[in-house]
Amino acid sequence: MKEQLKKKQAIEKQTVAYSEFDLDDALAIEPALVAEIKSKGMVHRWINGAKFKANFGFDSRRWVPYKRESQGNSAFGFTDSEGFTRRGDLILAVRSEGINAAHKAKIAHKNSNLAANQNKRAADEIRQQMVDANIKSAKISEGYDEN
């Protein structure tokens, strides 16, 4: 009997308990693959393969498709012939933890500035409405009043 056929039969005999992730989750990744990515100091994410191809292999957020080095368990069977993990038009991509942390910090800074500016604009708008209504005794605070 061929070796491939023996492997396939052995996989078919494995129980559902073997898989350590939710079988209903189409974007679940094999735990061994997640460990392999984390051991390299990387984080993973799914990116749109069609958009990535249309941009000639460039992703503005610095995600790079991950080519698996270890031999995966074929019970999961989600790698293509090139070694990339795909789900439909999605490709599993990685970037370093440093780049990821910098990107998250940038987003957090942008969000905090947006919230602060939004409170200021709302307070300025209310002040202008008070002036238009000729109300002079009202106190308007930006954000939450702690008193």
Distance CA 134, CA 115 (A): 29
48 vs 9 pLDDT, higher one: 48
Q: Which residue has the tokens 């370093």?
A: 96
74 vs 136 pLDDT, higher one: 136
pLDDT confidence of residue 8? 65
The mean pLDDT of the chain is: 81
- pLDDT tens digits for range 94-122: 999 999 999 999 999 988 888 778 878 88
Distance CA 95, CA 98 (A): 8
Cβ neighbours of residue 120 closer than 8 Å, sequence gap 6 or more: 142
| pLDDT over 60 at 40, yes or no | yes
pLDDT confidence of residue 97? 96
Averaged pLDDT for residues 31-46: 92
| pLDDT over 90 at 72, yes or no | no
